[in-house]
């Protein structure tokens, strides 16, 4: 089923204080909503970013190149998490939402995220190679 969720703006990444995570703030809207709503997506460094980096075998390069790799992968994970929570119905109501790491009540989405990471390995590896050169 296609989503009618429209992403109006994305800001970030922001380092989350007191958490090993980065976050993105999305401004989203549906055609039947009168105003946009905010969605904060947190990407956990250990369980999400480092897991994806291990799948891609992203190592080496300068500190600047590794920073850029992290930015690319954080954004890709955040975009997929937004799509997964939308498909799960968490964004159906018109209200601001904060989506943390996929644990506790969202743990059922963790497997879907991991499957996506495995399926997108080649595409993400090529994106990193094209944009960063490693």
Percent of the chain with pLDDT over 90: 74
Within a domain: 88: yes
* pLDDT digits 0-9 by tens, 24-38: 999 999 999 999 999
- Which parts of the chain are beta strand (E)? 6-15, 21-29, 37-44, 97-99
Within a domain: 1: no
pTM attached to this predicted model: 0.92
* pLDDT digits 0-9 by tens, 66-101: 999 999 999 999 999 999 999 999 998 888 899 998
Q: Which residues of 43-73 are buried (b: 16+ CB within 10 A; e: fewer)?
A: bbbebbbebbbeebebeeeeeebbebbbebb
Asked whether the beta carbons of 99 and 85 are under 8 A apart, the reply is yes
| Domain around 100 | 6-132
Total domains in the fold of the chain: 1
């Amino acid at each position: 089923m296609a989503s009618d969720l429209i992403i109006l703006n994305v800001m970030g990444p922001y380092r989350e204080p007191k958490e090993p995570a980065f976050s993105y703030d999305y401004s989203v809207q549906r055609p039947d909503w009168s105003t946009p709503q905010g969605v904060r997506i947190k990407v956990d460094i250990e369980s999400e970013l480092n897991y994806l980096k291990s799948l891609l075998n992203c190592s080496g390069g300068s500190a600047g190149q590794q920073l850029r790799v992290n930015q690319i992968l954080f954004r890709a994970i955040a975009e997929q998490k937004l799509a997964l929570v939308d498909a799960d119905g968490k964004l159906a109501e018109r209200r601001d939402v904060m989506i943390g790491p996929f644990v506790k009540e969202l743990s059922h989405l963790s497997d879907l995220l991991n499957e996506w990471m495995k399926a997108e390995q080649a595409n993400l590896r090529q994106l990193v190679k094209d944009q960063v050169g490693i």
